[in-house]
Amino acid sequence: MKFVAWATGALVVGMLAAANPAAAATIDLSGWKCSKYQSASKDDVNLILAWLDGYYREEDDPAVIDTEKLAANGKKLGEYCSAHADDNLITATDKVFSK
């Protein structure tokens, strides 16, 4: 699971860095609130969602990116964060992405 998350994240980060090298940054989600997530750029939101998708998978899940599920989870997280702007993003994600 962690390798899939790492590989997915590395691929997305690589693509973003190649597209805009000046925008490369560290994103420490442990300190993010829902409000910060909602005000993030579209590129950052997509990167975060891809990383979260890998992070919340089981270790033996297939290495498949389900774009419809990813979009649905992104919508659910956005709706949750709209109603709970002061919640920690990881706490919100635990509630939305839980199996």
Q: How many residues does the chain have?
A: 99
Range of the domain at 81: 2-97
Map residue 3 onto helix, strand or coil.
Answer: helix
In whole angstroms, what is the distance from residue 85 CA to residue 47 CA?
Answer: 20
- CATH of residue 91's domain is 1.10.890.10
What is the model's pLDDT at position 41? Answer: 94
What does the pLDDT read at residue 91?
94
- 74: which residues sit within 8 A by CB, 6+ positions away? 45, 49
Q: What integer pLDDT is reported at residue 73 of this predicted model?
A: 93
Per run of 10 residues, the mean pLDDT along the chain (length 99 residues) is: 50 53 75 96 94 90 91 95 96 87
What is the C-alpha R_g of the chain? 13
Number of domains in the chain: 1
41: Cβ–Cβ under 8 A, 6 or more apart, which residues?
Answer: none
What 3-state DSSP class applies to 26? Answer: coil
What global pTM score does this model have? 0.71
pLDDT at 23: 57
